[in-house]
A = this chain, B = another copy of it.
Amino acid sequence: MHQRQRKILDMLQRGKVLIREAAAELGVTEMTLRRDLKLLEERKLILCVKGGAIPYPAKYEPESAAAELTDCKFAIANALFQRIMPAESIFISAGTTSLAFAKIVARYNRLPLTVITNSLPAASTLFRSCCKVILLGGELRSSSLDLVGPIAEKNLEEYHVDWLISGCDAALSDYGFYTSDISVSNLEKKSLGIASNAAIITDSSKFGRRALTRFATLSDIDLLVTDEGISPEDARNLTASGLEVITIPSGS
């Protein structure tokens, strides 16, 4: 990397850099500095704002999250949110639907909850809020930004929560809920054991499919929130097994 670009990064360590000033300080023309900034921005080292640049904000969200946070997921998350009471404790698992839920909680920011989570995106969303946030320990997976593994599972034993809030990768209405990651599955199973109520929030497209491992049977779960896309038969199966099913309009 060019010496000058390295210097720009140094300058940025303590906040915003203005193009005007920095160009003078580095003894180059504004155009050159702009070209440097563009390069650094492409490499995700900085973020260009109006008259300058700031350090690249370490978004605590996997790259994929933005695309997957659909309106439908927010609507589903919002429906569940209506059920949560002040001062309750909840465990928010990793995954985009759960993240949508965390964002709803943060946006509303009036329920003083105790939130336990293994998801850095969720913790990131909530740490400024009025909720108390507890993070499980463990190895940080850089792809999904969640904490899994034996330490996370062991930490879980220290807590009890009113609600477990989780998504799923696949679901069969007569058999249970699946995830495609074995370590996630292990953690989910454990978290079912520490929760008074378990809620699954998922869009209806997940039904009728299997994934690697089943982490919950139908009887493990108390409440399912999904969209109207779910087939009447699936809904009937679930209700018959004692789950409460909430469906939100698909258009919302």
Contact = CB atoms under 8 A, between A and B. Distances in A.
A147 B158 CA distance: 16
A211 interface: no
Contacts of A48: 49-50
Tell me the interface secondary structure of chain A in the complex.
mixed
A155 interface: yes
Contacts of A140: 123, 127, 133-135
A123 B141 CA distance: 11
Contacts of A120: 123
Given A9-B107, A74-B13, A135 B155 contact: no
A137 B139 contact: no
A13 B101 CA distance: 12
A123 to B, nearest CB: 6
B147 A139 contact: no
Contact of A139 (B60, B69, B103, B132): B132
Given A13-B103, A151-B158, 13 more contacts: A10-B71, A14-B66, A14-B69, A15-B66, A48-B50, A58-B60, A123-B140, A132-B139, A133-B139, A134-B138, A134-B139, A137-B138, A137-B147
17 contacts: A13-B103, A14-B67, A15-B66, A48-B49, A57-B57, A58-B60, A120-B123, A127-B145, A132-B139, A133-B139, A133-B140, A134-B139, A135-B140, A136-B137, A137-B137, A137-B151, A137-B155
